[in-house]
Structure 1
Amino acid sequence: PMQPWFTDAKLGIFIHWGIYAVEGVPESWSFYWGEVPHERYMRQLDGFTASRYDPRAWAELFARAGAKYAVLTARHHDGVALWDTAHGDLNVVRSTPAGHDLIAGYADALREQDLKVGLY
């Protein structure tokens, strides 16, 4: 069943973000459809620094825009998790220069703005 707050929320933000941002390829479907070879796609792990990651700025912007919730793709089709999952090493903590959990800061920042936290 739908949560009661959702019908009144009106505006939510859905964020697609992952290693595909390094080269700007069209998300993880690019290797699935053969547009980018899988090896090249996965080399983006080496360039994913999350140097511009600023979840507080994101949350403040979302709140100013009138959003009531945000949903972040925590693991995309490529299998790369934005947190340190116990299910393998394919995550930004162990496999990228970013080297830290990107979910906790996101969730904390949204909660500070009284926004609902979503993960996909």
Structure 2
Amino acid sequence: MAGVKELRKIAPLRRWNLVEIDAELLKLTMETKSVLSLIYPSNTYMDLNIGIAFWLAAGGDGCVSEEINGNNNLKVKYKSDSRILLVGSGADEQCGGYGRHRTKFRESRLLLINQYYLIL
């Protein structure tokens, strides 16, 4: 949810939805053959798990939280028609963790603010 809040700050006029996907076992079983053909030649259980997660996320069938009195406490069924999928997986593996980059971003922002005041 923190990522969606950050996106809403960056582009407040755009509608950002966090669609929570929760698939039933029957749907997972039906989709497995399609996903296996797409991730070929990767054929480990890890590859299948990641592939299925992306496949279901791209489908956009899930729930969104509706805000009531400032709280996200009402889940509503939702089907996204978006053609773009933002996924945050892999950040820990590729970038050494979110926390490190969040700290760096804050420090850089403070550094820029301090430099700005020095220029004046």
Higher strand share: 2
Task: Normalising by structure 2, report the TM-score.
Answer: 0.21
Give the number of the structure whose alpha-carbon radius of gyration is greater: 2
Task: Normalising by structure 1, report the TM-score.
Answer: 0.21
